[in-house]
């Protein structure tokens, strides 16, 4: 019945257009042309109240008429000078439609059919691979505002940079998921809001397109077993993709601290903008505002900037100034999981003299990247790191008030003081096949190192810690098993000598490597259409790098990265 009604409405619309176009009044306007049409949705239902602008292309884009479609979706205008016109149509709830180069001839009526697409219908068109290519060029997937009108978004296979920025379920040809639910236990990142309370947690993220306003990612996480805690994060991408325009990030975390159950809050607000200064030079700049505390709080404003310059084909130079350690989590895990990772992008909060302080400093780096082949590249960098409050992580009973003891575990934090060092890095990455990639990293960088006997109860404990440079070599293998669908990452970083803090945090974040042996596995569960996935992350599998503080009989150990496990299941919807 609905299809019959729609057919009748379409027929009535065209009849009215014909009557209006060829009626007695139309023939009286000798030497002028007439333009008429019908506005409908993708199902063919006429749309009333659509605003139609007629723009003369011959007069430099001047609007010559503005109309409204009637109850049958029809519109008509006469007394038009012969020439080419552009017709723009807008209607609430639909994407604007535009047809250009519409020819209007004298004493003739030009008839149009304008189809209005909704935002969700257009995005669904983008997600589904068309059965046949509509144009004989290298553009494979095209999102348009209406049939045979202007292009809104195009996907080209030959653009490797854009393809690398969209991962996993966001690739064309696959159904793009809008939500992700993770049920996990444990944590792998020391100092993050979810790491100290090693408890089961539930995290949810959602990807909401905003039409012309871009895209909004929302994530939240709750944990109850060891004190109620919750985190919220939102990422607004006006350009629709990370790393392709302005980005706004807001993160808020609240948990119970201490036996008294004081409400501890952390907040981060980051705004960044990308500017193309020329065809060869681009600038990404912004700033983040941080605030944390409970009875008393501490705040900081930290700007960051990155300048990229293309020196020659295959050669790129970059200069970076940012806060240290890095808080950027846009890795190759996809937008939904990256939004959940933003929940852990808050800085570590320490206590010095009873007052809260934020770990952080500055990282300045100059690097040159060379693309050896289409699948291999090498990078050489020189950098300088300064940290005012270097966080040291350990396990055991707190010896003095300077050690902040976690209420629900043996984990503790200590303010290791300031650190200042220069370093250099050489990184190599190669894609061996569509399912296998390898990377290697060499570092000579500074880290906090024990310079004497570490006695936690001594007033000279901090004086026995110094910044020293160390050599390190790391390698990573990541890929996917085609038949099983298993995604895996295995990396190992060897460091010469004992260290108490991370060295070259920026290099580790860019190369996705942690100290010692790290394993990550993502396994789709069979029979569930790839929506359910088991995940497991192992940090410091071999338990290396632990330094005893206070001799062999001490119950306190310090380590840059704990031996930890995080596992669970995730569901995409």
Residue-wise pLDDT tens digits, 175-200: 456 899 988 887 655 544 444 446 67
pLDDT, residue 393, reads 85
pLDDT at 488: 94
- What is the per-residue pLDDT for 388? 87
CATH number at residue 92: 2.60.40.10
**How confident is the model at residue 517, as a pLDDT?**
94
Residues 65 and 149 in one domain: no
Does 130 share its domain with 249? Answer: no
Q: Pick from 409, 383, 384, 407: which is nearest to 395 by CA?
A: 409
- Residues 245 and 337 placed together within one structural domain of the fold: yes
Q: Do both 167 and 126 map to the same domain?
A: no
Q: Do 342 and 223 sit in the same domain of this protein?
A: yes
Domain that holds residue 453: 161-572
End-to-end CA, the chain? 33
Is the domain of 135 the same as that of 167?
A: no
Instruction: Tell whether 369 and 311 lie within a shared domain.
Output: yes
195 and 98, same structural domain? no
- Specify the 3-state DSSP secondary structure of 295: coil
pLDDT for residue 548 = 85
Residues 71, 143, single domain; the answer is no
Contact 110, 104 (CB under 8 A): yes
The predicted-structure confidence for 461-485, as pLDDT tens digits, reads as follows 778 889 999 999 999 999 999 888 8
What was the pLDDT predicted at 250? 94
* Statement to judge: residues 304 and 417 lie in one domain: yes
Cα distance between residue 467 and residue 131, in whole Å: 61
Dist. CA 119–CA 90, nearest whole Å: 13
20-53 pLDDT, tens digit each: 444 444 444 457 889 899 999 888 888 888 899 8
Q: How many domains does the chain have?
A: 3
- Asked if 339 and 331 touch (Cβ cutoff 8 Å), the reply is no
Cα separation, 54 vs 206, in Å, equals 40
In this structure, the answer to whether residues 534 and 448 fall within a common structural domain is yes
pLDDT of residue 260: 55
208 lies in the same domain as 152? no
Task: Give the span between the Cα atoms of 42 and 121, in whole angstroms.
Answer: 9
For residue 392, which phi and psi values (nearest 5 degrees)?
-115, 135
| Separation CA 450–CA 218 (nearest Å) | 42
In the predicted model, residues of the chain with pLDDT beneath 50 are 2, 8, 15, 17, 19-29, 122-123, 126-175, 191-197, 328-332
* Of 115, 137, 171, the domain-final residue: 115
Q: Are 76 and 34 in contact (CB under 8 A)?
A: yes
């Amino acid at each position: 019945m609905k299809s019959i009604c729609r057919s009748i409405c379409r027929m009535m619309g065209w009849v009215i257009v014909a009557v209006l176009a060829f009626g007695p009044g139309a023939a009286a306007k000798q030497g002028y042309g007439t333009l008429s049409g019908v506005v409908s949705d993708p199902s063919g239902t006429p749309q009333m109240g659509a605003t139609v602008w007629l723009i003369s292309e011959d007069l430099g884009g001047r609007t010559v008429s503005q109309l409204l479609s009637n109850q049958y979706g029809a519109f008509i205008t006469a007394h038009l000078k012969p020439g080419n016109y552009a017709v723009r149509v807008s209607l609430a709830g639909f994407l604007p439609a535009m047809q250009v180069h519409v020819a209007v001839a004298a004493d003739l009526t030009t008839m149009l059919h304008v189809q209005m697409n909704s935002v969700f219908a257009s995005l669904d068109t983008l997600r589904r691979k068309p059965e046949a290519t509509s144009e004989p060029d290298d553009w494979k997937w095209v999102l348009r505002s209406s049939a045979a009108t202007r292009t809104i978004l195009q996907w080209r296979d030959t653009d490797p940079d854009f393809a690398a920025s969209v991962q996993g379920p966001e690739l064309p040809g696959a159904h793009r998921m809008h939500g992700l639910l993770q049920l996990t236990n444990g944590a792998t990142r020391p100092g993050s809001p979810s790491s100290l309370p090693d408890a089961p947690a539930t995290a949810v993220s959602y990807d909401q397109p905003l039409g012309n306003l871009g895209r909004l990612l929302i994530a939240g996480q709750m944990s109850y077993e060891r004190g109620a805690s919750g985190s919220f994060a939102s990422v607004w991408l006006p350009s629709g993709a990370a790393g392709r325009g302005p980005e706004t990030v807001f993160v808020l975390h609240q948990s119970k601290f201490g036996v008294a159950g004081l409400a501890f809050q952390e907040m981060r607000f980051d705004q960044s903008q990308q500017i193309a200064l020329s065809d060869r030079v681009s600038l990404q700049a912004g700033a983040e505002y941080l605030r944390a505390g409970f009875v008393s709080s501490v705040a900081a404003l930290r700007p960051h900037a990155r300048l990229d310059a293309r020196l020659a084909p295959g050669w790129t130079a970059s200069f970076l100034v940012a806060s240290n350690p890095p808080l950027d989590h846009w890795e190759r895990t996809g937008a939904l999981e990256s939004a959940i990772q933003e929940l852990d992008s808050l800085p570590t909060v320490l206590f010095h003299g009873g007052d809260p302080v934020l770990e952080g400093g500055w990282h300045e780096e100059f690097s040159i990247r060379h693309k050896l082949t289409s699948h291999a590249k090498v990078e050489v960098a020189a950098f300088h790191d300064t940290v005012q409050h270097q966080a040291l992580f350990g396990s055991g009973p707190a010896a003095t008030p300077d050690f902040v003891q976690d209420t629900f575990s043996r984990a503790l934090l200590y303010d290791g003081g300031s650190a200042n060092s220069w370093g250099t890095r050489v990184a190599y990455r190669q894609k061996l096949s569509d399912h296998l990639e390898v990377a290697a990293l060499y570092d000579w960088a500074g880290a906090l190192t024990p310079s004497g006997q570490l006695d936690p109860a001594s007033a000279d404990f901090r004086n026995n810690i110094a910044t020293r440079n160390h050599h390190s070599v790391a390698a990573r293998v990541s890929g996917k098993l085609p038949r099983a669908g298993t995604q895996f990452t295995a990396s190992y970083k060897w460091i010469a000598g004992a260290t108490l803090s991370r060295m070259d945090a920026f290099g580790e974040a860019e190369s996705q490597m942690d100290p010692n042996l790290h394993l990550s596995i993502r396994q789709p569960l069979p029979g569930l259409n790839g929506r359910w996935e088991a995940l497991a992350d192992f940090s410091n599998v071999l338990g290396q790098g632990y330094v005893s503080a206070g001799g062999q009989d001490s119950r306190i150990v310090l380590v840059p990265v704990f031996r930890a496990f995080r596992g669970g299941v995730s569901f995409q919807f």
